[in-house]
Structure 1
Amino acid sequence: MTTSEVDSIRNASRLLVRELGFMQPTLASTNYSASAVHALLEVDGSETMTSAQLVQRLGLEKSSVSRMLAKLITAGELYEEADSSDARIKLLRLTGQGRTTVAHIHAFGQAQVQSAFKHLNRSQQQAVAQGLSAYAGALQAHRLNSQAPEPSSAVTVTTGYQPGMVGRITEMHATFYAANSGFGQFFESQVATGVAEFAGRLQEPCNRVWLAMLNGRIVGSLAIDGQDLGDNKAHLRWFVLDDGCRGSGIGRAMMAEAMAFCDRRGFAEVHLWTFKGLHAARKLYEASGFQLMHEEQGEQWGSTVTEQQFVRVCQPA
């Protein structure tokens, strides 16, 4: 990660804090502090919640949480009751007033998001939803000294054309190969032209595309072109994942589906062309039955790279 990227995220984080109202003494159009508002939301979101659990959830000192809870109980937002299995444990619950307060907090927050999203197009909205969720999970993992949740938990794989497919596949390729191989406009244009042409042939049963979707946004792609090479050979094309999804198992799942499709269709072989140095991708190719058949230097993409051809012999289904 570059220094400019780090600075950009820090600047955006400070702006978020200000625009969401965290610099003010109260939050979400209530009379309560940010920590108190978050405490009410956490109690609302859990069937049972103890003060000790709230300490862990909010990442605050026990004494601070105790004082905050005392104020919320006095204000009539919360009450405590003994756990039926252990009277020593006190469970926090919302009062009727507390449920009304939480409903107002949710309405306030939803209106904030909806108002802000009016200034973004659909692709930007999806990117914000995906990126904020991943970043928040990574921050929490750092605080708890644990692994960040896998981004694949909400990722689904679908087949067939999706609106925005041509642009997103092109964008993911252009971004990745600009950073890793120094490719520029010519490469991006070639990808865009190829994907657009292929999209017009998706109605043919020998052609298929798999798209990884997260929050309605395309975050990965893989295509099998059964017409491009002829001679009953399939061409694996445009296999790429967003940075946040690499290493999550989504690529492996897409590859398994694609190879099963090729076997069912009765192709003799599957061919793919890639570039030397993409070690994680090569491991996946070889694990899926591909073998390196040929490599040579090439400069047609705007920088000198070693192109590689891999071939997989299909297994009749």
Structure 2
Amino acid sequence: MEEDRMGQALRRIVRGLGVLDGDAPCCPGVTLAQCHVLTEVCGTPGTSLGELADRLGLDKSTVSRTVEALVARGLLDRQPRRENRRCVTLLPTPSGEGLGAELEAMRRRLYGDLLDRVPEARRTQVLEGLDLLAEALEAQGATPFRGDEGQPAPKSMDQKGQCVP
């Protein structure tokens, strides 16, 4: 079935990218989640916590904890917005900008290496497929394995007693 093939391929991609170990460092002392936040803030300095949470598809409390860790490490700075002091603007510090640039260079090398392994004649097809998949996920709304309220979706057991979302 196509659904099984897609699920297997996506699980292989997730494993290959190291996403399953969310607390594993993507670089010394920075978790994968912190790398995502830092990358987003470096790409759009001056973003708010709410905007960042929306962009990452996470709840504000999760993003807030991640931002706090980056502030404590001296990689991000929070500044109140002039028009509403209760809302803060997130900015990379000079150290954060440096690490963000390193992360971007690492990402470009990784993705370049991956694309080099795809036959040149099929690269456009692969990139178009990834764009379509990303659009489908975005159109779905809620995170696939969570309900609309961000709560874990009900789970069931397969015939072998394995939990399946």
TM-score range, shorter chain: 0.7 to 0.9
Matched residue of 1:93: which SS? strand
Are residues 1:18 and 2:22 paired? Answer: no
Are residues 1:8 and 2:8 paired? Answer: no
Matched residue of 2:80: which SS? strand
Q: Find the aligned partners of 1:19 and 1:121 in 2 and give their Cα distance.
A: 19
The alpha-carbon deviation at position 39 of structure 1 amounts to 0.9
Q: 8 Å contact 1:83–1:91 — kept in the other structure? A: yes
Provide the TM-score with structure 2 as the length reference: 0.77
How is 1:178-189 mapped onto 2 (pairs within 5 angstroms)? none
Provide the TM-score with structure 1 as the length reference: 0.42
Q: 8 Å contact 1:78–1:92 — kept in the other structure? A: yes
Q: 90, 95, 104: which is aligned to 1:106? A: 104
Equivalent in the alignment of 1:34: 32
Q: Which sections of structure 2, spanning at least 5 residues, go unmatched? A: 144-165
The alpha-carbon deviation at position 99 of structure 1 amounts to 0.7
Equivalent in the alignment of 2:94: 96
The alpha-carbon deviation at position 62 of structure 1 amounts to 2.3
Per-residue CA shift, 1:127-151, capped at 9, x if unaligned? 1111111111210110259xxxxxx
Q: Find the aligned partners of 1:35 and 1:123 in 2 and give their Cα distance.
A: 34
Q: Find the aligned partners of 1:79 and 1:54 in 2 and give their Cα distance.
A: 14
The alpha-carbon deviation at position 85 of structure 1 amounts to 2.4
The alpha-carbon deviation at position 89 of structure 1 amounts to 1.7
The structure in which a higher percent of residues are strand is: 1
The alpha-carbon deviation at position 21 of structure 1 amounts to 1.5
Equivalent in the alignment of 1:265: none
How is 1:144-183 mapped onto 2 (pairs within 5 angstroms)? none
Per-residue CA shift, 1:84-143, capped at 9, x if unaligned? 222222100000111111111111111111112222212221111111111112101102
Equivalent in the alignment of 1:253: none
Equivalent in the alignment of 2:119: 121
Q: 8 Å contact 2:45–2:90 — kept in the other structure? A: no
How is 1:11-90 mapped onto 2 (pairs within 5 angstroms)? 11-24=8-21, 25-90=23-88
- Identify which of structures 1 and 2 has the higher relative contact order when contacts are C-alpha pairs closer than 8 Å and 6+ apart: 2
Q: Find the aligned partners of 2:73 and 2:44 in 1 and give their Cα distance.
A: 21
Residues 1:30 and 1:106: Cα distance change in structure 2 (over 3 Å): farther
Equivalent in the alignment of 2:150: none
Matched residue of 2:87: which SS? strand
Residues 1:8 and 1:30: Cα distance change in structure 2 (over 3 Å): farther
Per-residue CA shift, 1:56-88, capped at 9, x if unaligned? 222223222221111110001100112122222
Q: Which sections of structure 1, spanning at least 5 residues, go unmatched? A: 146-317
Equivalent in the alignment of 1:308: none
Identity of aligned residues (%): 27
Residues 1:83 and 1:59: Cα distance change in structure 2 (over 3 Å): same
Q: Find the aligned partners of 1:7 and 1:45 in 2 and give their Cα distance.
A: 36
Bigger Rg, which one: 1
The alpha-carbon deviation at position 30 of structure 1 amounts to 4.3
Matched residue of 1:23: which SS? coil
Q: Find the aligned partners of 1:110 and 1:140 in 2 and give their Cα distance.
A: 23
The alpha-carbon deviation at position 47 of structure 1 amounts to 4.1
Q: Find the aligned partners of 1:127 and 1:27 in 2 and give their Cα distance.
A: 32
Q: Find the aligned partners of 2:142 and 2:46 in 1 and give their Cα distance.
A: 22
Matched residue of 1:91: which SS? strand
Q: 8 Å contact 1:49–1:93 — kept in the other structure? A: yes
Q: 8 Å contact 1:28–1:108 — kept in the other structure? A: no
Per-residue CA shift, 1:14-72, capped at 9, x if unaligned? 11111111123325334322221111111122242111112222222322222111111
Equivalent in the alignment of 1:156: none
The structure in which a higher percent of residues are helix is: 2
- Amino acid of the structure 2 residue aligned with 1:92: L
Equivalent in the alignment of 2:135: 137
